[in-house]
Structure formats: C-alpha cells, structure tokens
Amino acid sequence: MATHEILAATNAVVTLDVALPGIVWPWLVTVNMWAKSIGTGVIFMLFLLIKKYPNQVGNLRFQVTVVSIVFIHIFLLFTLADLHQPFRMWHIFFYPNVTSAIAVGAWMATAFVGLLFLLAFLSFVKKNDVAFDKTLAWVVALAIPVTLYTAGLMSQCTARELWQMPTESAQMIFAALLSGSAFMILVFGNKLDWEVNKSLSRILALSAFISFILYMSEYVFGPMKAEELAAVLEYIKGDGEYAVMFWIGQWMAYLLPIFFIVLSRINKSKPILKFAAILALVGLWIVKHVWLMIPQLLPMS
Amino acid sequence: MQLGFLVDLHLCMGCKGCEIACKVENEVPLSTWRLRVKYVDVGTFPETKRTFTPLRCNHCENAPCERICPVSALHYLDNGIVNIDKERCIGCAGCVMACPYGAIYIDPQTQTADKCTYCAHRVASSMMPACVVACPVQANIFGDLDDVNSNISKYIMKNQANVAVRKPEKGTNPHHFYVGGGNINLNPLASHRVDGHSLFNKITTLPVGGHH
C-alpha cells in the first residue's frame, strides 16, 4: 500500500510504500460459499425426503435439482468474478496442481454440475424416478466433498490461523444442512405436510445450535491456541471492527431461528417457521462474511 | 544447489537501497513491493532506537503458496527458488492468502500474483540479485546453502546462536535468515505504527494495488 503527502512548497508528492493489511478475498467469496451451501444443502434435504417421506416428494425431484443447479452456478459465477484473470480459468483443467484445494474443488464442482444436469434429465425428460434416486445417492456422495473443499482451501491458507480444517469442515457441513433445510422450508414448505416441516425444522435448529457452539468455542478458547488467532479474534470482541456484525450474524443465523422454530412448533405455524428460515439464510451470509474478513485484517509482515 | 538469503541486521542501516534496486530491476508498480525495509521504532524519547529489517519472499522449502496454487504458476526451481509464471497465473489470490509473510501481491498492471524471485533471471546469468549488488554494507548475503564453503553457509555457522527465521512455527522452512533479528522486527504482531506517527505527516491511504 502506498501513502503520500503533498508538500505545499514544491507541490511534490512524496510516496512511501508500506505494507498494510488489505482485503484480498472480498464479499464475492462470501457469496461463493453461501451459494454453495444452499446448492449442496438442498440436495442433502431432497435425499432425506426421498428416504423418509417418499410419498411427499412428488415433483420436488426436478424442482430441487433446478434450485441446486441455480445456486451452484451462482457459486461458480462468483468464483469466476473473484479471479483477476477470469479468462484463464481453463488453466485449472489443463495445468492442475493436485495439491491445491482450488484445483481439486474445481474438478469436483464440475463433476457435480454434470451430475445435477443428469438428474434434471432423468426427472424432466425421462421421468424415471428409480434411476433418479439411484443417481442421487452418487450426487449426495459428491456433494459432501464439494461442500468441504472450501474448508480445505481455507486451511491451506496457513497464514490465516483462524481457519483450521477440523472446525471449518464441521462449519461447512452444518452450513449446508442449515441453509438446505431453511431453503426447503421457505420455498417448498407449503407443499409439504407439517410433519415434514417439523423434520426440516429439527435439522435447521440442530445445525444452528451446533454451529453456534463451534463459533463460541473459537471465540472463547481460540485465543489460548496461538498469538495470531488471539489477535484476529480481537476484531470481533469489544470495540473490534467486526464485533457488531459478528453478533448480528450469530443472532440471525443461529439463536433467533432456534427461538422461532420452538415458537412455530408450539403454535404449529408455518409462517413463523418461514421467518426462522429467512433469518437463518440471511444470517449465514453475515456469519460467513465476518469469518472471511477478520483474518485478512491482520498484518503479515 | 539450494539458494538462500541471509541479512545481517547489525549491518543494515535502513538506506532502502535494496528496495529501490528491486523496484527498478523488476519494475515493481507503485503500491506494491517485492522487498521492503521495515522500520520499527523502539523505546521512549530520549531512549529510542530504530531497527531496520529488509523483508522479502522467504523462498520456503515447504512453501504454502506453491501448495495452494491451482495451476502451478508458483513452482520450485532446481536451485530452490520459488518462482512464478505470470502467464499461467489465474489471479485467484490463493497464494496471497497462504503466504504467512505477506510477501506476495497482485500486480495491478498484469492482474497476476507476483513476488521476489531472488532475481531468478539474474541468477540464471550468474549475476547476484539486484538488492545484493545495491547494498552498500554487504548486509545481504546470498549463496548456496548446500555448499559448506559458500559465504552464506559460513556466515550461518559462525553466527549459529544468533540466526533466526521469520515465523518458524509455520513449518515452512524458510531459505531466508536473519542475524541479529528479534521479536521486535521479525514478528509483525510485536509492534504497530500509531496513526500520525510516521516518516511523513498528513498521510492519506491509497487502495492496495491489484485488489478488487
């Protein structure tokens, strides 16, 4: 980063290069992770519905597949938009470095998109539910590493002590379960029986609860692990730059949805449940954004 | 052959000659740097002193940037240099995020990652890196770490108790050493520059080069 002053006497600009921290991965990467969570999460939920409530699924096979295709493409679009040389994206396929989570993730995401289109073909053109359900099992198996590879990528950012593979993996999986169940409740909840909505809300509440525990564990115990981590977490504590946003995210994504889910079950109210789902989806974006930003504020040199 | 760098901080006087030589040799754009001499002021007036620490890519033996690069734009040369192929780079900035030393930047002109290459192009022509040539006090010592008779190897052996690397806990095995380095100048969390107390007054901040 450069800093400068203008000297009145000479009108000269004095320039000094100094290293200051800057945001390298911006909000585009937040959208990337958020959209991927929904894209894989709804596939997990569809698999669950087919196994547990086969008579409720109806034409959800095709509709959920389309939702997944849309959100995975949002994920891919924002990944591309974040590249400084987007027209060189093809290098990943022709010069891949297999130790890179980015390269491995790109290959898996591509295969995932191919399988999603196969699912759409089986449900919309062939109308073959048996073949769809068999293929879906493979898609679910692939959706897990597609969800997790971003955790691998973040853990390869060894400079950012906050992002560790074990916790990031758990956070990614629970983010997918949370956003998948929330999206199903929000968009398809009216088509599904109250029992199905209850099951989805149970997944949403449990995912929110476990995710909240994970974040609080880092918040409280993280500073004991490493000096860098302690410094990073200062940004979400006290007067920290992201403290307010962090807590807004935690309340919106996790605590309030749990409260409204309990309330909806007491009142058997789908609108309250939908409100909890909206909070969870919006809150998840905020939570992910804060977690992406704070390690980037730390000076590295 | 494993090329490495050693900076004797007892000798460095903060002239920034190496910084300028690097900028000129490699045409490093404004708002980015491959080599920076970090100033840290220590103490309370009148008992104060200023430390100078040249910071550049550490050419790690276990380089996180090489590992995370999806297209192998960052790669090892046989002589241990971690080099970059700007034509292959897709600008994902993964390397910038992975480097524990903040040594990699996105070049605002080419929109690709860039960093110190130990002047690999000069080394290939049997010349010393530009910063080594420019240093008036020979504080920068460059050579083959595998050769026990090289200047750098002798220097490391002679100063064994006083040789340090940046962030050894990261397990990157840097090929860049400091003699006389301590927590104050090698740990970025050990010091901070208070706003309004800089080399120049009335400082305004420009955007970081190459970022979105």
The answer to whether the CB of A132 falls within 8 A of the CB of A119 is yes
CA distance B68 to A147: 18
B54–chain A Cβ distance below 8 A for any pair: no
Radius of gyration of chain B (CA): 17
B202–chain A Cβ distance below 8 A for any pair: yes
Q: What is the pLDDT of residue B9?
A: 96
Structure tokens at B102: 């903040």
List chain B residues with CB under 8 Å of A23: 211-212
Would you place residue A3 in the very low, low, confident or very high pLDDT band (cuts 50, 70, 90)?
A: very low
Q: How far is CA A67 from CA A70, A83, A105, A168, A173, in A?
A: 5, 25, 20, 25, 18
Q: How far is CA A25 from CA A88, A157, B32, B68, in A?
A: 18, 12, 17, 15
> Which residues on neighbouring strands pair with residue B159, listed in sequence order?
none
Closest CA to A27 of A294, A298, A289: A289
CA distance A144 to A20: 37
Contact A16 B102 (CB under 8 A): no
Q: What is the pLDDT of residue B194?
A: 59
Closest CA to A35 of A63, A77, A66: A77
Contact A91 B90 (CB under 8 A): yes
Residue spans per domain, chain A: 2-297
The answer to whether the CB of A156 falls within 8 A of the CB of A165 is no
Contact B102 A159 (CB under 8 A): yes
CATH code assigned to A2-297: 1.20.1630.10
Would you place residue A1 in the very low, low, confident or very high pLDDT band (cuts 50, 70, 90)?
A: very low
Contact B69 A23 (CB under 8 A): no
Q: Which of A6, A13, A23, A24 should we substitute to test contact with B (largest number of B Cβ atoms within 10 Å)?
A: A24
CATH 3.30.70.20 fits B3-190, yes or no: yes
Contact B188 A299 (CB under 8 A): yes
Q: How far is CA A193 from CA A22, A118, A253, A268, B180, in A?
A: 49, 28, 25, 11, 72
pLDDT in tens, A83-96: 999 999 999 999 99
Q: What is the pLDDT of residue A11?
A: 54
pLDDT exceeds cutoff 90 at A17: no
CA nearest to B88 within chain A: A91
Residue A12 DSSP class: P
pLDDT exceeds cutoff 90 at A256: yes
The answer to whether the CB of A276 falls within 8 A of the CB of A204 is yes
The answer to whether the CB of A44 falls within 8 A of the CB of A177 is yes
| Cβ within 8 Å of residue A62, ≥6 positions away | A120, A123, A124
Contact B98 A83 (CB under 8 A): no
CB pairs under 8 A between A and B: 170
pLDDT exceeds cutoff 50 at A61: yes
Contact B189 A299 (CB under 8 A): yes
Q: What is the mean pLDDT of residues A136-150?
A: 97
Name the residue with higher pLDDT: B36 or A206: A206
Q: Are strands B176-179 and B3-8 parallel, antiparallel or unpaired?
A: parallel
Q: What is the pLDDT of residue B46?
A: 87
Average per-residue pLDDT in chain A? 93
The answer to whether the CB of B8 falls within 8 A of the CB of B181 is no
Amino acid at position B182, single letter: G
List chain A residues with CB under 8 Å of B189: 227-228, 231, 298-299
List chain B residues with CB under 8 Å of A14: 200
Structure tokens at B26: 């490699």
Residue spans per domain, chain B: 3-190
Maximum C-alpha span of chain B: 53
Beta strand spans in chain A (E): 2-6, 13-17
Q: What is the pLDDT of residue A9?
A: 55
Closest CA to B26 of B88, B105, B99: B105
Q: What is the pLDDT of residue B209?
A: 55
The answer to whether the CB of B82 falls within 8 A of the CB of B123 is no
pLDDT exceeds cutoff 50 at A127: yes
> Which residues on neighbouring strands pair with residue B6, listed in sequence order?
B141, B177
Mean pLDDT by 10 residues, chain B (212 residues): 96 94 92 86 83 94 97 97 97 95 91 96 96 96 96 95 94 96 88 58 54 56
Residue B37 DSSP class: E
Structure tokens at B144: 């083959």
CA nearest to B100 within chain A: A159
Q: What is the pLDDT of residue B189?
A: 87
The phi, psi pair for B17, rounded to 5°, reads -60, -40
Q: What is the pLDDT of residue A4?
A: 47
CA nearest to B208 within chain A: A1
- By Cβ distance, the residue of A106, A159, A299 closest to B98 is A159
> Which residues on neighbouring strands pair with residue B140, listed in sequence order?
B7
CA distance B199 to B96: 27
Q: What is the mean pLDDT of residues A128-137?
A: 96
Contact A88 B204 (CB under 8 A): no
pLDDT exceeds cutoff 50 at A68: yes
